[in-house]
Amino acid sequence: MGELQSGPFTRDELDTSVPFIARRCLAGEPGQALLDRVLADLLEWEPPRVRQRKAADLDRLRVAISAILANLIAARRNTVSGEAFVAMSFNRNTYTGTELSSEAVASVRDYLRDQGLVEGQNGYQKRGQKIFGEWNQEHARRTRLRATERLLAQIADAGIDLDAPAWQPASGLGWRKTEDIVRLKDPEPGAGAEPDDVRASRRVLLAVNRLNQSVRLELPRDSWGRILARLHDQGSNEAMDRMSAGDAERVTLYRGFKGGWNNGGRLYGGWWQTLPKSERRHLTIDGKPTVELDYARMHPSLLYAKRDLALDRDPYLPPQFAGPEVREVGKEIFNRLLNGKPGMLRVTAEHKAQLAGAVDFQVLVAAVVDLNRPIADAFGTQAAGWLQRLDSDVLIAVLTRTSKAGVVALPIHDSLIVTVDNEDLLRAAMADGYLEVTGVPAPPICRMASG
C-alpha cells in the first residue's frame, strides 16, 4: 500500500477514531445512489484489465464500497467528533467469515485515496512505542481513514443527510444481515445445536433491537470530553478507541456464547455498554433523564441460592476491612477466584493503587475466601461462564417484560437503564424475571452509584 500523503496528523487526532464494522452498509435510495456513482467511477478509474470482472467480482466490490463508505459516513456523524477517523485493518485474515473480500477492500481503499476522497495515515505492524517518556512493549496501529470534503460533497449530492437520525432513509445507513444475533464463539466438540431457550431468546432480542432503533440515545458533549481525557491520561490503544467511539448508532444487541451453550450468553453490541459508570448517568433516551438499576452482588447470590443458602452479608468486603476502594478490590478478587485458585492471584498495579499500601493484597484474598467459605468449592472451577449464562437468562426474562410494555431498557450485563419515569416498571420486571429463572427472590435491586 502506498503512503497516504494527507498527514501528518497528531496522536490525539488519530486516537479519535471509530472501529470499522464490517456489517455496516449503505441503505435506502440515497445510499444506493452513492454506491452506484462510486462503483461506476472506480471501474472507469481502474486500468484496463486482461480479464473482465465476473458478476461475483462486481458483487464483492459493491459490498466493499458499501461497507467502507458507510463507516466513513458514520465517523462523520460521530457524537464525539465529526473529525473522527475509521480504524481499518487490511490484513487478509481480518475479513475471514464476512462477506468482505480483502482484495476488494484494498481496491476501494486505493481508489478513494488516489482520487483524494479520503485522508489519513497508514497502519503498521507491531513495533516499540514510547508512551509518557518510556518505551512500551510492542504496539500496532490500524490504518486511519476519513472522508475529505470532496467525498462529503458526493455524499450530499446523493441525498444523504449527515444530520438525519439513523432510522430515517435520508441517513443512507443500514446493517447487513450477515451476523447472527446469537453467536457461539470457538464451539467445542459436542456443543450441539442451539437449545430451545436460546432460540426463543432471539424473538426477545429482535423486539429489543426494534425498540432501541426507534429512540434517540444521547450523551452530552462534556461527558464525551471527560471520557476522551480519561482515555488519553491512561494511554491509548485499539480497545480504548472502541470505548471512545461515540457511535450512537450501534444499538443492535447480540447474545454471545463461548465454547458451549452453557458458557456465557450475555448481551453485547450497544455503545452505552462501554461508558464509565460516572458518565452513564448522563445518558438520555429521547431527551429524558435515565436511571440504572443493578442486581446487588448477583453472582454470589446465585452461588448461595444454588446451595439453598441466604446471602446476608457483603461477600466482597470482609468485616475487618473498610472503604469503597478495598471493597472494589474485594469484588475483583471474588470474580477472579471463580476462574482461578487463591494462590494463583497476583496483585495488579491498579489494585496496589487502590489499596494504597494500607492493606496487603494476599491477606485480602485469604479473607475473601474465608468470608465465602460456604461456596468456596466454586472457586477455581471456571464458574464465571455458567454464572454468566444464568445472569443472561435473567436479563432475557427482564427484557421480555420491558419490551412487551414497549419500554426501552438498555442492558449492561446485570444492570439495565431506563428513563426515570419507567423505574418502577423496570424494578418489578427485574424482581419477576429473577424469580422466574432462579425460583428464589431477587437480591436487592439498587440504583447504580455514579462513581
Residue 28 and residue 156 in one domain:
yes
Residue 215 and residue 291 in one domain:
yes
Q: Is the pLDDT of residue 97 over 90?
A: no
Q: Is the pLDDT of residue 136 over 70?
A: no
Tell me the mean pLDDT in the region 90-95: 82
Query: Which of 11, 228, 45 shows the shortest CA–CA distance to 131?
Result: 11
* Residues 104, 61 contacting (CB under 8 angstroms): yes
Report pLDDT for 195: 96
Q: Is the pLDDT of residue 25 over 80?
A: yes
Q: Is the pLDDT of residue 439 over 60?
A: yes
Tell me the mean pLDDT in the region 300-304: 94
Which of 127, 157, 175 finishes a domain? 175
Q: Picking from 69-73, 170-174, 340-344, which range would have the lowest pLDDT averaged per residue?
A: 340-344
Is 326 among the domain residues?
no
Residue 32 and residue 47 in one domain:
yes
Residue 237 and residue 153 in one domain:
no
User: C-alpha grid cell for residue 17?
Assistant: 477514531
CATH of the domain at 84: 1.10.10
Query: Which of 8, 74, 86, 12 shows the shortest CA–CA distance to 242?
Result: 86
Residue 201 and residue 129 in one domain:
no
Residue 220 and residue 266 in one domain:
yes
Residue 60 and residue 110 in one domain:
yes
Tell me the mean pLDDT in the region 106-110: 94
Report pLDDT for 320: 93
Q: pLDDT above 70 covers what percent of the chain?
A: 89
Cβ burial, residue 10 (10 Å; 0-12/13-18/19+) = exposed
The distance of Cα 309 from the centroid of its chain, to the nearest Å, equals 35
Confidence of residue 235 (pLDDT cuts 50, 70, 90): low
For residue range 386-426, list pLDDT tens digits in order: 999 999 999 999 999 999 999 999 999 889 999 999 999 99
Q: Check residue 439 and report its DSSP letter.
A: S
127 vs 410: CA distance, rounded Å: 39
Q: Picking from 24-38, 69-83, 192-206, 358-372, which range would have the lowest pLDDT averaged per residue?
A: 69-83
Q: Picking from 106-115, 349-358, 378-387, which range would have the lowest pLDDT averaged per residue?
A: 349-358
Report pLDDT for 132: 47
Q: Taking the CB of residue 261, how many other CB atoms lie within 10 A of it?
A: 19
Report pLDDT for 291: 97
Report pLDDT for 342: 75
Q: Is the pLDDT of residue 246 over 90?
A: no
Tell me the mean pLDDT in the region 294-310: 92
Count Cα neighbours of 351 within 13 Å in the Cβ-side half-sphere.
18
Higher pLDDT, 82 or 102: 102
Residue 161 and residue 201 in one domain:
no
Is 369 among the domain residues?
no
Q: What range defines the domain where residue 30 resides?
A: 11-175
Residue 152 and residue 216 in one domain:
no
Residue 153 and residue 23 in one domain:
yes
Report pLDDT for 438: 92
64 vs 74: CA distance, rounded Å: 15
Burial 407-445 (b: 16+ CB within 10 A, else e): bbbbbbbbbbbbbeebeebbbebbeebbeebbeeebbeb
* Residues 111, 121 contacting (CB under 8 angstroms): no
Is 233 among the domain residues?
yes
Q: Is the pLDDT of residue 245 over 70?
A: no
For residue range 248-265, list pLDDT tens digits in order: 778 889 999 999 999 999
> Which is it for strands 85-88 and 17-19: parallel, antiparallel or unpaired?
parallel
Residue 285 and residue 150 in one domain:
no
Q: Picking from 45-59, 124-138, 238-252, which range would have the lowest pLDDT averaged per residue?
A: 124-138
Q: pLDDT above 90 covers what percent of the chain?
A: 56
Which of 157, 175, 193 finishes a domain? 175
Which of 175, 201, 224 finishes a domain? 175
Tell me the mean pLDDT in the region 5-12: 69
Report pLDDT for 229: 73
Is 354 among the domain residues?
no
Tell me the mean pLDDT in the region 287-313: 93
Is 67 among the domain residues?
yes
Highest mean predicted confidence (pLDDT) among 188-197, 237-246, 397-406: 397-406
Q: Is the pLDDT of residue 47 over 90?
A: no
Q: Picking from 117-121, 139-143, 359-363, which range would have the lowest pLDDT averaged per residue?
A: 139-143
Confidence of residue 1 (pLDDT cuts 50, 70, 90): very low
Report pLDDT for 386: 93
Higher pLDDT, 115 or 229: 115
Residue 131 and residue 167 in one domain:
yes
Q: How many domains does the chain have?
A: 2
Q: Is the pLDDT of residue 451 over 60?
A: no
Q: Is the pLDDT of residue 41 over 80?
A: yes
Average pLDDT, the chain: 87
Report pLDDT for 375: 94
Report pLDDT for 7: 57
Tell me the mean pLDDT in the region 146-154: 96
Is 225 among the domain residues?
yes
Is 375 among the domain residues?
no
Is 160 among the domain residues?
yes
Report pLDDT for 51: 66
Confidence of residue 34 (pLDDT cuts 50, 70, 90): very high
Q: Is the pLDDT of residue 15 over 60?
A: yes
